Chains A and B, each alone.
Chain A
Amino acid sequence: MEEDSSPVKKFIKDIAANKGAMIGFIFVALFFILAIFAPFFAPFDPTTLHTDALRLPPLWALEGKSGHLLGTDDVGRDIFSRLIYGARVSLGVGLAVVSLSLTAGTLFGLLSGFYGGLVDKFIMRTMDILMALPSILLSIVVVAILGPGLNNAVIAVAIVAIPGLTRVVRASVMNEKHKQYVMAAKIFGRGDLGIMFKEILPNCAAPLIVQGTLGFSEGILNAAALGFLGLGAQPPTPEWGTMLSDSRSFIESSPWMVTLPGLCILIVVLGFNLFGDGLRDTLDPRLKKI
């Protein structure tokens, strides 16, 4: 029996012991710091064109000639600065996607799992339809309807993420709602809303947090994919996916232009996935060690 710890303290202790999660957390935290304090870290404005320095290779590939740490792109913008500002966009997209889809998914899942019956059937069949479409296709359709642009891309990616979250929430609500504490709450007079949000929801938080974290990486990836297809962020917004697509014709002559944004996406997504997996290990009671 744990005498000393509240659930939160215990959770922090457990997650700190998980190496993978900590590595992921450090990556993610690093990028968040870069994104928040982008103007401090970026040596140049990300949209300024340095016409005297087009497609400049990174510093280490060039002897002596300084100025641009990671080189410049085809119109002479500083790649390092663009990547740092790009982190802002990507993490912002992730945050927006997760909060949108999490809110909607939780709400649908709660309603569906708690009331069951027709409400459940209607919501879940809608989710089935959404899930039946390939996710990238669905986001393309949404963007096609709403028009290209970062905000619309976020909405599209969030819609794609809703069904998965709804299912997770619904499953754990259905599991929790038959527990006796829910009946106890009913007996001492809590209404449906109170039971849903005050009794059941906190007990479904664990899988939600895990899914939310993993959803972060998926959101970033999907938004980047849309950017790559030219449907997401529009130039000159420094977005990693857009940067990738802009520079793909220079893959042989100036490989750093493609590699660096790709690497950024990789590291952030990997970081979130590692962190999410670690969270799952510590929060999911089925995987909990004795």
Chain B
Amino acid sequence: MALIEVENLAITFKTQKGEITPVRGITFNLEEGESLGVVGESGSGKSLTNLAIMGLLPPNAIVTADKLLFNGQDLLNLSDFSWQKIRGEKMAMIFQDAMTALNPCYNVEFQIQETLKIHTSLNRKERLERCIHLLDLVGIADPNSRLKSFPHELSGGMAQRVMIAIALACNPKVLIADEPTTALDVTIQDQILKLITEIQEKNKMALILVTHDIGVVSEFSKNIQVMYAGEIVEKGPTKEIIKYPRHPYTQGLLNSRPGHSVIFRERLPSISGLVPDMRQRPLGCQFRPRCTFASENCERPIELYPSQFAFEKNRSEHNSTMMSITTPSVRQIRCIHPLEGERNA
């Protein structure tokens, strides 16, 4: 059984100008200890999906799903009390802006202790030990003296480490990291991401790493889920997707990153146009208006479907033994004429 099971999740907001559905038809499973990277631009619904899983959406959001399970427990009709039991204890989340996520009125020790007090039955001394252990775990030098620091005395990277310590306080089964390094410098970014993935492997914790930067995910998570306009457009193992993207949007995202495959100062292959307005969604494939491969058929509604990808087929033709090694494809796409072959670099 998967740790998190989501089936056909949709999030609707009622606004003055009618209903909008920024997230729809989301289906995915998260296994225990899996690391999943969620990639998408702003407005792709990646953050909303996670907030729905954490039960943190504002009250005017309407969440519907065929299935929304955590550890077999239905998350759709939980009482506030049951949510509190799950949040922080079994699921934890870290945000983009650690500085504002920490309460400026309290010191680091208080904020970590707070979580421990709510969710554990440790006594005062044990809690203090745990605090120091946690700070040590997230790589803060001299944890004893740092306990008394207030958020404004911490640098951005340090604050994010404290946030991670708070998130890890109760050994959660899932850690959702929503753009954890976007606000940080490159060198610090690297440190934090390494830290998160190290802890994830050590604690056998599942990780959802949300980011707009496909480069970050490519290095730090095993599986990728690409989102566009509130839908999952492609998902599968990271390495395969990076090398053989099948959805034109994924390819566009990969290719428009500067400094990789393109020659110095050559025009970057960019995706023209804008993300669709939630009130005027295009028919069928959401990416159609921006897609260079679009045809009339793309106006037909399309669901996420499993696909064998081309290089597997090719290989099996030439070498029948290869077929037995490759596992059945776990890749899924939402495109009626997916790309074949290696990413044109």
Contacts and interface: CB of A to CB of B under 8 A. Distances in A.
A232 B316 CA distance: 99
A1 B277 CA distance: 8
Interface residues of B, number: 3
Contacts of B277: 1
Contacts of A1: 277
A212 B128 CA distance: 54
Nearest to B277: A1
Interface string B34-71: 00000000000000000000000010100000000000
Nearest to A1: B277
Interface in B251-280: 277
Contacts of B58: 290
A69 B195 CA distance: 83
A290 B22 CA distance: 15
Contacts of A290: 58, 60
Interface in A1-58: 1
Interface in A238-290: 290
Nearest to A3: B277
A92 to B, nearest CB: 39
B19 to A, nearest CB: 14
A202 B60 CA distance: 33
A13 to B, nearest CB: 9
A14 to B, nearest CB: 10
A290 B60 CA distance: 10
A290 B59 CA distance: 12
A289 to B, nearest CB: 9
A290 B16 CA distance: 10
A229 to B, nearest CB: 46
Nearest to B58: A290
B22 to A, nearest CB: 12
A1 B60 CA distance: 19
A231 B250 CA distance: 77
Q: Which 3 A-B pairs have the closest CB atoms?
A: A1-B277, A290-B58, A290-B60
3 contacts: A1-B277, A290-B58, A290-B60
